[in-house]
Structure 1
Amino acid sequence: MKVYKFGGASIKDAASVKNIATVLKTVGYKNILMVVSAMGKTTNTLERLVQMYFSKQDIDASIAQIAQDHLQITTTLFLSTHSIFEEIDVFFSDIKIFFQRNKSPSYDFVYDQIVSFGELISTKIISEYLRLIGIENEWLDVRDYIKTDVNYRQANVDWQETAKRIGILKKDAFYVTQGFIGSDFNGFTTTLGREGSDYTAAIFAWCLDGESQTIWKDVPGVLNADPRYFSETKLLQQLSYEEAIELAYYGASVIHPKTLQPLQDKSIPLYVRSFLNLKQPGTSVKKGPMLLPMLPCYILKKNQVLLSFSSKDFAFIAEHNISEIFKIFAEFAIKVNLMQSSAISFSVCIEDTFKHLEHFLEKWQNQYRMRISRGVSLYTLRHYDAESMTKISSNKNILLRQLTTDTAQWVVEE
Structure 2
Amino acid sequence: MRIFKFGGASVKDAAGIKNVYDVLQKVGYEDVLFVVSAMGKTTNALEVVVKDYFEKSASLQSSIQEVKKYHNQILLDLFEDEKSPVFKAVNDLFSELDYFLNHNKSPNYNFVYDQIVSFGELVSTTILSHYMTYRGIKTNWIDVRNYIKTDATYRDAEVDWDATQKCIAKNIKRKVLNITQGFLGADENGFTTTLGREGSDYTAAIFAYCLNAESVTIWKDVPGVMNADPRYFENASLLNQISYREAIELAFYGASVIHPKTLQPLQKKEIPLYVKSFIEPLLPGTSVSKGADLEPHLPCFIVKKNQLLMSLSSIDFSFIMEENISEIFALLHQFKIKVSLIQNSAISFSVCIEDKFGNFNDLKTMLSKKFKVAYNENVSLYTIRHFNDKAAQMVEENKVVLLKQVSRETMQIVTKESID
Same fold (TM over 0.5): yes
Tell me the distance in 1 between the aligned counterparts of 2:344 and 2:48. 38
Between stretches 121-130 and 92-101, larger displacement belongs to 92-101
SS at match of 1:257: coil
Question: In the alignment, residue 74 of structure 2 is paired with which amino acid?
Answer: I
SS at match of 1:125: helix
Per the alignment, residue 72 of structure 1 pairs with 73
Task: Give CA deviations for 1:18-57 in whole Å, capped at 9, x if unaligned.
Answer: 0000000110000000000000000011112111111221
Per the alignment, residue 238 of structure 2 pairs with 235
Q: 1:398 aligns with which of 396, 401, 406?
A: 401
SS at match of 1:167: helix
Q: Is the 8 A contact 1:203 1:262 kept in 2?
A: yes
* Correspondence 1:363 to 2:346: no
Tell me the distance in 2 between the aligned counterparts of 1:407 and 1:393. 15
Q: Using the TM superposition, give the Cα deviation of residue 400 of structure 1 relative to its aligned residue in structure 2, in angstroms.
A: 0.7
Q: Is the 8 A contact 2:42 2:120 kept in 1?
A: yes
| Superposition map of 1:14-413 within 5 A | 14-58=14-58, 59-78=60-79, 79-168=81-170, 169-413=172-416
Q: Is the 8 A contact 1:63 1:92 kept in 2?
A: no
SS at match of 2:262: helix
Structure 1 unmatched ranges of 5 or more: none
Q: Using the TM superposition, give the Cα deviation of residue 83 of structure 1 relative to its aligned residue in structure 2, in angstroms.
A: 1.2
Q: Is the 8 A contact 2:239 2:294 kept in 1?
A: yes
Structure 2 unmatched ranges of 5 or more: none
Q: Is the 8 A contact 1:206 1:263 kept in 2?
A: yes
Q: Using the TM superposition, give the Cα deviation of residue 310 of structure 1 relative to its aligned residue in structure 2, in angstroms.
A: 0.7
Tell me the distance in 1 between the aligned counterparts of 2:127 and 2:135. 13
Question: In the alignment, residue 241 of structure 1 is paired with which amino acid?
Answer: Y
TM-score under structure 1 normalisation? 0.99
Q: Using the TM superposition, give the Cα deviation of residue 279 of structure 1 relative to its aligned residue in structure 2, in angstroms.
A: 3.0
Tell me the distance in 1 between the aligned counterparts of 2:247 and 2:342. 21
Aligned pair count reads 414
SS at match of 2:223: coil
SS at match of 2:263: helix
Task: Give CA deviations for 1:135-183 in whole Å, capped at 9, x if unaligned.
Answer: 1110000000000000110100000000000001123221000000000
Q: Using the TM superposition, give the Cα deviation of residue 86 of structure 1 relative to its aligned residue in structure 2, in angstroms.
A: 1.2
Q: Is the 8 A contact 1:33 1:175 kept in 2?
A: yes
Q: Using the TM superposition, give the Cα deviation of residue 326 of structure 1 relative to its aligned residue in structure 2, in angstroms.
A: 0.9
Tell me the distance in 1 between the aligned counterparts of 2:398 and 2:77. 50
Q: Is the 8 A contact 2:48 2:63 kept in 1?
A: no
Q: Structure 1 vs Structure 2: percent identity of aligned residues?
A: 57
Q: Using the TM superposition, give the Cα deviation of residue 362 of structure 1 relative to its aligned residue in structure 2, in angstroms.
A: 1.7
Between stretches 95-104 and 63-72, larger displacement belongs to 95-104
